[in-house]
Amino acid sequence: MTVALNADDLPTPRLTLPEGIQLARQLMIGTGNWQMRRAIHLLGFCQAGYWLRRFDRDWRVSVLEPPWVPEPTSVNWDRVVELLDTPGALEDDDLEPGTMGPHLALLEIATSLAVGRPVDLCRAARILPAADWRDILARMENAALHV
């Protein structure tokens, strides 16, 4: 005996987005400023969403607001600037030695987009892997269209 299945009988696969992208989408909903939205987009979509995931999990460097809720709605960019002024606070023992540089470059670029903090693009280009650099440049170009 054979049973004929139609498309409605088959389970629909559910795609689960990576955590960084989920956080970025959630945060962009509550952000009206286009440049801040682009900065959040960078942090969620580049480097596997390292910074948004870390900000969500590590209370020592938390910049998501409101703090300690399951679904934060914004990024406190003033707090991000404070953290960038004390880079030792951003060190991550879970990363291999020397890998904070590329992560830090991404955070500096995103902060520059969000609040106009100067960033040394020459330094960023030297320390970012080529694929990351191309990805970030493409996303920065898109952000520039809306200035």
Q: How far apart are alpha carbons 99 and 129 in whole angstroms? A: 10
Residue 60, in any domain of the structure: yes
Residue 39, in any domain of the structure: yes
pLDDT per position as a tens digit, 26-42: 999 878 888 899 999 99
Residue 53, in any domain of the structure: yes
Residue 120, in any domain of the structure: yes
State the residue for tokens 């600037």: 81
pLDDT per position as a tens digit, 74-96: 999 999 999 999 878 888 877 77
Average of per-residue pLDDT across 10-39? 83
- 24-61: buried (b, 16+ CB within 10 Å) or exposed (e) per residue? bebbbeebeeebbbbbbbbbbbbbebbbbbbbbeeeeb
pLDDT per position as a tens digit, 83-137: 999 878 888 877 777 667 899 999 999 999 999 999 999 999 999 999 999 999 9
Kindly tell me the burial class for residue 109, based on how many C-beta atoms sit within 10 Å of its own C-beta (0-12, 13-18, 19 or more): buried
Q: How far apart are alpha carbons 87 and 71 in whole angstroms? A: 27
Residue 1, in any domain of the structure: no
pLDDT score of 70: 75
Residue 11, in any domain of the structure: no
Closest CA to 40 of 96, 107, 103: 107
Contact of 73 with 39, CB cutoff 8 Å? no
Global pTM? Answer: 0.83
Residue 8, in any domain of the structure: no
State the residue for tokens 């902060």: 111
pLDDT score of 145: 66
pLDDT band at 14 (very low <50, low <70, confident <90, very high): low
Lowest mean pLDDT among 31-35, 60-64, 68-72: 68-72
pLDDT score of 100: 79
Question: Structurally, how many domains does the chain consist of?
Answer: 1
Residue 115, in any domain of the structure: yes
First-to-last C-alpha distance (Å) of the chain? 65
Domain that holds residue 108: 17-144
